[in-house]
Amino acid sequence: MAVKVKTTKPKKILVIVESPAKAKTIEKYLGPSYMVKASMGHLIDLPKSRLAIDVDNNFEPEYITVRGRAKLLKELQSDAKKSDSVMLASDNDREGEAIAWHLQNAISAKYGAIPISRISFNEITPEAIKNAVANPTIIDISKVDAQKARRVLDRLVGYNLSPLLWKKVKNGLSAGRVQSVALRLICEREQEVESFIPEEYWTLDAELKAGKGAFRAALTLWKGEKADLKKESDAQSIVEVLKNADFIVSDIRESEKSVHPRPPFTTSVLQQTAANRLGFTSKKTMQLAQQLYEGINMGSSRVGLISYMRTDSVRVSQSALAEVRAWIGKEHPGELPEKANYFSVGKSSQDAHEAIRPTYTSYTPDAVKEYLSRDQHRLYAIIWERFVSSQMKNAKTKTISADINADAALFRVAGTTLIYQGFYKVLNVLAAKEEKGQSFPPIKKGDTLVLRKFIPEQHFTQGPPRYTDASIVKTLEEKGIGRPSTYAPTISLLLERYYVQRTNKQLVPTLLGRLICNMLVENFGDVVNVDFTAKMEKGLDEVEDKETRKNWPDMIREFYTPFIEKVNEVGKNLASQKGSLDEPTDEICEKCGKPMVKKLGKYGYFLACSGFPECRNAKSIPLGKCPKCGGDVVERKRKGRGKKFYGCTNYPECDFITHFKPLSQNCPKCGCFMVEKHEKGRGTHKACINPHCDNNHTEGGERVSS
What does the pLDDT look like over 243-260, one tens digit per residue?
999 999 999 999 999 999
pLDDT of 653: 86
Q: What is the pLDDT of residue 702?
A: 35
What is the architecture of the domain spanning 148-196+465-573?
Orthogonal Bundle (1.10)
pLDDT over 80 at 696, yes or no: no
Q: What is the mean pLDDT of residues 347-371?
A: 86
The whole-number pLDDT of residue 459 equals 93
Would you state the pLDDT for residue 250? 96
Planar angle of CA 126, 128, 131, nearest 5 degrees: 100
Greatest alpha-carbon pair distance for the chain in Å reads: 124
- Is 311 in contact with 123 (CB distance < 8 Å)? no
Binned at pLDDT 50, 70 and 90, residue 15 comes out as very high
* pTM of the predicted protein model: 0.83
* pLDDT at 349 exceeding the cut of 70: no
Mean pLDDT of the chain: 89
- pLDDT tens digits, 60-85: 999 999 999 999 999 999 999 999 99
Fold of the domain spanning 12-139: Rossmann fold (3.40.50)
CATH 1.10.290.10 residue window(s) in the chain:
268-390
Level-2 CATH architecture, domain 268-390: Orthogonal Bundle (1.10)
User: pLDDT for 603-644, tens place per residue?
Assistant: 677 889 988 889 988 888 888 888 888 888 888 776 544 567
Q: Buried b vs exposed e over 607-642: b needs ≥16 C-beta within 10 Å?
A: bbbebeeeeeeebbbbbbbbbeeebbbbbeeeeeee
CA dihedral over 318, 321, 323, 326, signed as positive or negative: negative
Catalytic residue selected from 29, 63, 293, 308: 308
Cα gap 392→390, rounded to integer Å? 6
Comparing 697 with 179, which gets the higher pLDDT? Answer: 179
Residues of the chain with CATH 3.40.50.140: 12-139
Q: Tell me, which fold does domain 200-260+395-460 have in CATH?
A: Topoisomerase I; domain 3 (2.70.20)
Going by DSSP bridges, is the β-strand pair 632-637/409-420 parallel, antiparallel, or unpaired? unpaired
pLDDT tens, residue by residue, 459-512 = 999 889 999 999 999 999 999 888 888 999 999 999 988 899 998 889 999 989
Q: What is the DSSP string of 659-684?
A: SSEEEEEE-TTT-PEEEEEEETTTEE
CA distance 235 to 238: 5
Which residues, in sequence order, are bridge partners of residue 420? 396
Rounded Cα distance, 214 and 544, in Å: 64
pLDDT (tens digit per residue) in 402-424: 999 999 999 999 999 999 999 99
Active site residue 308: yes
In the chain, pLDDT over 90 holds for what percent of residues? 62
User: Is 60 exceeded by the pLDDT of residue 681?
Assistant: no
* Position 669 confidence tier, pLDDT thresholds 50, 70, 90: confident
User: Is 174 in contact with 159 (CB distance < 8 Å)?
Assistant: no
How far, in Å, CA of 697 to CA of 398, rounded? 43
pLDDT in tens, 168-179: 888 888 898 899
